């Protein structure tokens, strides 16, 4: 299988399970309605681990443009493959978001909150402050990429790395995610936001494109910073 197809499928699975847990918690009359932030964060961590298990041997399971850029910045990935990986990730995230929409199809009309409907697809700040929101995404992704690099040099039991990375995601979400919803992944935010914009979701409200640049720019800057920090300290 092509690594680009691997990135497409891995990112699709990530968004299907990650955005799916958000939908279950936020949409009305779901059996997991009001299960809370811990459920969402654990769901995302498990989604990341499973996506890595699914395509790690095919593409390396970046499943995140910021990770792809960070690894290329660190010299662990060819820059020539970066555009193809990012396109595959965006397409996978788009498809995954469409599947979440279809899976929860009867629940959109039951849900009156436009904020909850948008949150199923993409992130939004708890307190809207461009500088603080950008800094949150930069810091969260710095920890992500720095963590991925130091996890990669440790010798775990065979097959354990994806679980450790899932724990890293849970830790970031619990400690740093309360400010912006920890996108830390441009594909995870912008492609599902586009799905929200395009699809005929009942009473959906605005797709909040004014905020959309932050979960794109912040993670890319954070990935470069995390890779640079790792190189400075350990190479």
Q: What is the pLDDT of residue 120?
A: 98
If residue 113 lies in a helix (H) or strand (E), which one and from where to where?
A: none
User: Average pLDDT for residues 92-121, to the nearest whole number?
Assistant: 98
Q: What is the pLDDT of residue 199?
A: 98
Percent of the chain past pLDDT 70, that is, above it, reads: 98
* pLDDT band at residue 220 under the 50/70/90 scheme: very high
Q: What is the pLDDT of residue 156?
A: 67
Provide Rg for the chain, Cα atoms. 17
Could you give the dihedral angle defined by the CA atoms of residues 85, 101, 193 and 181, in that order, rounded to the nearest 10 degrees? Answer: -90
User: Average pLDDT for residues 104-109, to the nearest whole number?
Assistant: 98
User: Average pLDDT for residues 199-217, to the nearest whole number?
Assistant: 97
Specify the residue for token string 């395009």: 198
Q: Is the pLDDT of residue 218 over 80?
A: yes
Q: Are 86 and 68 in contact (CB under 8 A)?
A: yes
Q: Which CATH class is domain 3-234?
A: mainly alpha
Q: Where are the domains of the chain?
A: 3-234
146: nearest Cα among 84, 19, 231 = 231
Q: Are 7 and 63 in contact (CB under 8 A)?
A: yes
Q: Is the pLDDT of residue 235 over 90?
A: no
Q: Is 164 exposed, middle or buried (0-12, 13-18, 19+ CB in 10 A)?
A: middle
Q: How do residues 166-196 score in pLDDT, each as one tens digit?
A: 999 999 999 999 999 999 999 999 999 999 9
Q: Please give the biggest Cα pair distance in the chain.
A: 54
pTM over 0.85: yes
Q: How do residues 10-47 score in pLDDT, each as one tens digit?
A: 999 999 999 999 999 999 999 999 999 999 999 999 99
For residue 210, what are the CA distances in angstroms to 41, 58, 100, 220?
25, 36, 24, 18
* Cα–Cα distance for residue pair 113/126, rounded to 1 Å: 16
Q: How do residues 120-159 score in pLDDT, each as one tens digit?
A: 999 999 999 999 999 999 999 999 999 999 998 776 666 8
* b/e map 108-141, b = 16+ CB within 10 Å: beebeeeebbbbbbbbbbeeeeeeebbbbbbbbb
């Amino acid at each position: 299988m092509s690594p680009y197809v691997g990135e497409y499928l891995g990112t699709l699975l990530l968004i299907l399970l990650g955005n799916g847990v958000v939908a279950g918690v936020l949409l009305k009359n779901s059996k997991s309605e009001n299960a809370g932030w811990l459920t969402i964060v654990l769901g995302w961590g498990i989604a990341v681990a499973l996506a890595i298990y699914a395509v790690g041997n095919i593409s390396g399971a970046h499943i995140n443009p910021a990770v792809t850029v960070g690894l290329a910045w660190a010299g662990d990935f060819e820059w020539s493959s970066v555009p193809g990986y990012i396109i595959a990730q965006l397409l996978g995230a788009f498809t995954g978001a469409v599947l979440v929409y279809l899976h929860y199809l009867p629940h959109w009309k039951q849900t009156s909150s436009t904020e909850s409907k948008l949150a199923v697809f993409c992130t939004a700040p708890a307190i809207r402050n461009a500088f603080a929101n950008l800094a949150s995404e930069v810091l969260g992704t710095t920890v992500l990429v720095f963590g991925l690099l130091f996890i990669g040099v440790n010798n775990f039991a065979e097959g354990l790395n994806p679980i450790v990375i899932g724990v890293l995601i849970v830790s970031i979400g619990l400690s740093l995610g309360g400010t912006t919803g920890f996108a830390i992944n441009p594909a995870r935010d912008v492609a599902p936001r586009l799905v929200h914009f395009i699809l005929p979701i009942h009473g959906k409200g605005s797709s909040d494109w004014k905020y959309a640049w932050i979960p794109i720019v912040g993670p890319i800057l954070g990935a470069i910073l995390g890779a640079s920090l790792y190189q400075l300290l350990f190479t």
